[in-house]
Structure 1
Amino acid sequence: MEDISGCPVCHTVVRPTDYFCFNCGASLHPKPPSVTPESQIVLYLWSFFVPPMGVVWGWKYIKQPDQKSRLVGYAAIGLTALSLLLAIRATMGIIHSVSTQVNQIQNLQGF
């Protein structure tokens, strides 16, 4: 007896050996994200410069079964966290600098 499963999109009964749903054409075996050096560089740059997307893309890599993909995902999320920490530190420095300048101007004007 043959195992039977359902399409995640249209819920039509399909065989586990099928790659696409015959009813809606949805891929039943999604392609795993690439771990080539070029794709890793792009992922790391996007993770650093666009932090929210780094978490989303990193999570996609972490859910993969192979160890290399998981390490790439952890690195992307780590770069995202580093980017956020650097942005917070820079913002706090700017706020402190502006606050100091405003206080100096107020002291000169006698407020």
Structure 2
Amino acid sequence: MEGLLCPACHVTVRPEDYFCYNCGQNLRPKPLSTSFSSQLVVYLKSLLLPPWGVILGMRYLRQPDRRSKLVGWAAIILTVVILVVVIKLTMNMITLVNDQVGQQLQNYSL
């Protein structure tokens, strides 16, 4: 099995290398971590910064391994659930304030 050539220094490198051993050139992107701590960070960002969770989820979905894809789907699902809950709570709050203002206006007109 023949190795690949580094685009910068044209040295033969192994197919599984991420960096050229000669010049340090990045040969392919490093896979995203799926450790417990990195998953926790992804899920917290999905919960606290909902639009960001979709972006993180898409990054993980592009990875080839199954675990990364599961992390990506979980981040996207968490983001969608949080957005739906926040929208529902906001609509309830707007309705409540609108009703209270309407009652106050009726009290002043009498």
TM-score by length of structure 2 reads 0.80
| Offset at residue 4 of structure 1 (A) | 5.9
Length, aligned pairs only: 104
TM-score by length of structure 1 reads 0.79
Structure 2's unaligned 5+ residue stretches are none
Q: Counterpart of 1:90?
A: 89
73-82 or 26-35: which moved more?
26-35
| 1:42 paired to 2:41 | yes
RMSD: 2.5
The 2-side partners of 1:35 and 1:79 are apart by 17
The 1-side partners of 2:62 and 2:12 are apart by 21
Deviant stretches of 4+, over 2 Å: 1-6, 12-20
| Offset at residue 28 of structure 1 (A) | 2.0
Percent of residue pairs bearing the same amino acid type:
39
What letter is aligned with 1:92?
M
Structure 1's unaligned 5+ residue stretches are 7-11
What letter is aligned with 1:88?
I
